[in-house]
């Protein structure tokens, strides 16, 4: 039995409840305020896809097929030990996956509006957040008070501030750590039993990186090409594009995705009533399932100004229609506003197209020299 399975078993034996989550729209503060542990269940494992394809269409996004494959085979201890799985009506694939999943697991799906721009949508989402609070209270037999919510907000806002500080290092030239190392740090947050311990780990990491900066150590030479990666979530195991970019001697200085900085940029407002503030923050997540999605474009202003990329690489999972269509919108926006080179890469979890992607990335790097 793996270390994590043992820890999960111990947590369960101690009476802890576990909530498995699939999306950046899941309001983690509510889960923590209910005294439960929150884990991400999004899978980046290629070998789980075949199992997912036994039920789901082959032309679905690999993240959905892999996540479903892990769930249906009970290979993922986080899924296995989850008392409740939290889903949201984001893309069509995920919505339908949750329908199937609810046949063998307790799943609650939050109904997400398709826009964050109008008052009706905000009210609708606030009601969904209230409903989730009620469900957590009922199922876990706890009361989620404003005081508990405020405590959870402070805890997670502190995490967000620390991740912002960590990201600040990537504005430097030379960059002290690689994008791949940064991704490992981001990915680690998905498997945390103790959030305070995680915050301490990030603080230690900030000190270590500061030491590297002070002693002139760097992951890439000064003047190396700087790339911002955007698009779909790309965790460890599904990070080949990030690896290839860095193998081509360019530094990935920012990841504008749900496995990167997307969820850390905006804090929960600590001056508003806690439930409203939580609902507001999560609804404003700039995912391509929102239509239109102007916040994603607007956030590129400070990214380009502060991280000074030579190019933007947009990663799209095959079968992800929303990010695929939005790629065109983003490309036009970045060209018209910043005249910045843009590369769209559509791929999956397999390794078969590695060399093809490498050739395209190399050609893109040549282009950014002009
Ligand atoms: S990209 Fe969209 S659907 Fe996927 S995890 Fe992020 S917010 Fe959720
Ligand atoms: S990458 Fe696209 S298709 Fe896949 S789960 Fe996220 S939004 Fe859905």
Per-residue pLDDT of the chain (370 residues; tens, 9 = 90+): 678 889 899 999 999 999 999 999 999 999 999 999 999 999 999 999 999 999 999 999 999 999 999 999 988 999 999 999 999 999 999 999 999 999 999 999 999 999 999 999 999 999 999 999 999 999 999 999 999 999 999 999 999 999 999 999 999 999 999 999 999 999 988 888 888 988 999 999 999 999 999 999 999 999 999 999 999 999 999 999 999 999 999 999 999 999 999 999 999 999 999 999 999 999 999 999 999 999 999 999 999 999 999 999 999 999 999 999 999 999 999 999 999 999 999 999 999 999 999 999 999 999 986 5
Task: Locate the ligand 2 atom nearest the alpha carbon of residue 258 and give its number.
Answer: 6
Task: Locate the ligand 2 atom nearest the alpha carbon of residue 233 and give its number.
Answer: 1
Q: Evaluate: CB of 63 within 6 angstroms of ligand 2.
A: yes
Long-range contacts of range 221-224, CB-CB < 8 Å, 24 or more positions apart? 221/174, 222/173, 222/174, 223/173, 223/174, 224/173, 224/174, 224/175, 224/249, 224/250, 224/251
Q: Which of 61, 125, 258, 324 to mutate to test the pocket of ligand 1 (most atoms within 8 A of CB)?
A: 258
Task: Locate the ligand 2 atom nearest the alpha carbon of residue 288 and give its number.
Answer: 7
- Rg of the Cα atoms in the chain: 20
Q: Beta partners for 344?
A: 314
Q: Name the residue with the closest Cα to ligand 1, atom 4.
A: 23
The pTM is what?
0.96
Spacing, Cα 62 to ligand 1 middle (Å): 14
Measured distance CA(326)–CA(211) in Å, rounded: 40
Spacing, Cα 214 to ligand 1 middle (Å): 37
Q: Where are the chain's structural domains?
A: 16-147
Measured distance CA(293)–CA(330) in Å, rounded: 10
Spacing, Cα 218 to ligand 2 middle (Å): 34
Long-range contacts of range 116-124, CB-CB < 8 Å, 24 or more positions apart? 116/283, 116/284, 116/290, 116/295, 117/292, 117/294, 121/283, 122/279, 122/280, 122/283
Q: Evaluate: CB of 64 within 6 angstroms of ligand 2.
A: yes
Q: Evaluate: CB of 101 within 6 angstroms of ligand 2.
A: no
Spacing, Cα 91 to ligand 2 middle (Å): 6
Helix ranges restricted to H, the chain: 3-13, 28-33, 49-53, 62-72, 77-80, 92-101, 119-140, 146-168, 179-188, 195-214, 240-247, 274-283, 294-298, 300-307, 321-338, 354-368
Q: Evaluate: CB of 94 within 6 angstroms of ligand 2.
A: yes
**Could you tell me if 88 and 289 are in contact, meaning their C-beta atoms sit under 8 angstroms apart?**
no
Give residue 132's region: left, alpha or beta (phi > 0; psi -120 to 50).
alpha
Spacing, Cα 216 to ligand 1 middle (Å): 37
Spacing, Cα 171 to ligand 1 middle (Å): 25
Ligand 1 surroundings by CB, under 6 angstroms? 23-25, 90-91, 233, 258, 285, 287, 289
Residue 357 CB-half CA count within 13 A: 25
For domain 16-147, give the fold.
Answer: Rossmann fold (3.40.50)
Ligand nearest to the CA of 322: 2
Q: Name the residue with the closest Cα to ligand 2, atom 2.
A: 320
Spacing, Cα 33 to ligand 2 middle (Å): 28
pLDDT of residue 369: 66
pLDDT of residue 352: 96
Q: Name the residue with the closest Cα to ligand 1, atom 5.
A: 23
Spacing, Cα 233 to ligand 1 middle (Å): 7
């Amino acid at each position: 039995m793996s270390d994590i399975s043992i820890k999960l078993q111990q947590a369960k034996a101690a009476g802890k409840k576990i909530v498995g989550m699939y999306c950046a729209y899941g309001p983690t503060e509510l889960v923590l305020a209910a005294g439960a542990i929150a884990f991400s269940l999004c899978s980046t494992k290629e070998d789980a896809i075949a199992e997912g394809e036994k039920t789901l269409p082959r032309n679905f996004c690999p993240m959905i097929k892999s996540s479903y494959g892990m769930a249906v085979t009970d290979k993922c201890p986080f899924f296995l030990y989850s008392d409740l799985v939290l889903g949201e009506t984001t893309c069509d694939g995920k919505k339908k996956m949750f329908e199937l999943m609810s046949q063998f697991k307790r799943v609650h799906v939050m109904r997400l509006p398709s826009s964050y721009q109008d008052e009706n949508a905000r009210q609708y989402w606030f009601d969904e957040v209230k409903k989730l609070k009620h469900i957590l209270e009922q199922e876990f037999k706890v009361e989620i008070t404003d005081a508990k919510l405020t405590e959870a907000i402070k805890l997670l806002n502190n995490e967000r501030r620390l991740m912002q500080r960590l990201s600040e290092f990537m504005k430097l030239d030379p960059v002290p750590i690689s994008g791949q190392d940064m991704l490992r740090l981001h990915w680690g947050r998905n498997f945390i039993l103790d959030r305070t311990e995680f915050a301490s780990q990030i603080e230690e990491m900030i000190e270590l990186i500061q030491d590297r900066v002070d002693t002139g150590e760097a992951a890439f030479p000064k003047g190396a090409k700087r790339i911002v990666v955007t698009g779909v979530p790309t965790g460890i195991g599904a990070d080949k594009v990030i690896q290839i970019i860095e193998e081509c001697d360019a530094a990935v200085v920012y990841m504008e995705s749900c496995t990167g900085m997307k969820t850390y940029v905006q804090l929960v407002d600590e001056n508003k009533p806690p439930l409203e503030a939580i609902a507001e923050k999560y609804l404003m997540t700039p995912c391509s399932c929102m239509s239109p999605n102007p916040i994603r474009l607007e956030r590129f202003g400070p990214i380009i100004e502060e991280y000074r990329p030579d190019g933007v690489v947009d990663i799209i999972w095959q079968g992800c229609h929303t990010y695929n269509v939005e790629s065109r919108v983003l490309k036009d926006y970045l060209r018209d506003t910043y005249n910045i080179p843009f590369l769209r890469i559509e791929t999956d979890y397999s390794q078969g197209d590695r060399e093809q992607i490498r050739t395209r990335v190399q050609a893109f790097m040549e282009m950014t020299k002009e």
